[in-house]
Amino acid sequence: MEEDKTFQKLRENEREVRKNLILDAALNVFEKKTFYKTSMSDIAKELGVSTATLYSYFSSQEELFLEAFIRDLSNIDTILKASFDQSFNPDENTAIDTLAEAMVSHLLNSEATFQLITLLMTERDMPEHLKDKFYLMKNELNERVLNVLKLSGIKDPDIKTSRAFFASVIGAILLFKNFPEREMKNNDANIIDLVRYIVSVYKAGIQALA
């Protein structure tokens, strides 16, 4: 009986490893193509397996894409934490600046993350078994932002405060990352300048509310 449980655990671990490999392959494909133009066969080719293999782990292309996004949220949280820990100076009021610049840097340099955020904005029917994972990661990111806001002097920041910060910073990136106007030729530099301005306004607002 104990031996059966051990083999069952090994099979479950092996399946999880293979599932993670598929998600890694999907994120790699998103760096090259938009999800609108990505097929299951593209991801299967990236991994060197059959399309049928993918469907044995994910019931649909949409489910695979959404789970890849949830996986990427975990990566974002890790990146933001590392960047914040390395750059934050406790003697200066730079907590929000540090977090915003880490978010901008990741989103401008990760096409996969950009594509997946766009997917989440358009895909409303998230399977129930993914919702718990999604809300867990979303709540962890919100907690990170709330901690930053506390360091920046705002009293008792709540979920609305965190959402306003996310909406402002991520909105600037989504709106202008692929903006076609001539004056946005140097998009990345313009976006960084815009986000810095947003953060300065946000900090001024925080001081006014304090």
- Indicate the domain borders of the chain: 1-58, 61-209
Q: 130 or 183: which carries more pLDDT confidence?
A: 130
Q: Is the pLDDT of residue 7 over 60?
A: no
pLDDT given at position 93: 64
Spatial separation of the C-alpha atoms in residues 158 and 147, rounded to whole Å:
10
Rounded to 10 deg, the angle between the 2-30 and 111-122 helix axes is 100
Q: Tell me the CB-side half-sphere exposure of residue 116, using CA atoms within 13 A.
A: 28
* Fold match flag (1-58 vs 61-209): no
pLDDT at residue 208, rounded to an integer: 59
> What mean pLDDT, rounded, does the chain reach?
77
Domain 1-58 class in CATH: mainly alpha
Query: Residue 100 in contact with residue 199, Cβ under 8 Å?
Result: yes
Least confident of 57-66, 111-120, 142-151, 193-202: 111-120
Residues 199 and 210: their CA atoms lie apart, in Å, by 16
Is 130 in contact with 182 (CB distance < 8 Å)?
no
State the DSSP code for 49.
Answer: S
Residues 84 and 99: beta-carbon distance below 8 Å: yes
The domain over range 61-209 is classified in CATH as 1.10.357.10: yes
Tokens of 183: 């004056």
Residue 86 in tokens: 């390395």
Q: Looking at residue 50, what is its pLDDT?
A: 92
pLDDT at 199 over 70: yes
What pLDDT does 29 receive?
87
pLDDT for residue 130: 74
d(CA 84, CA 90): 11
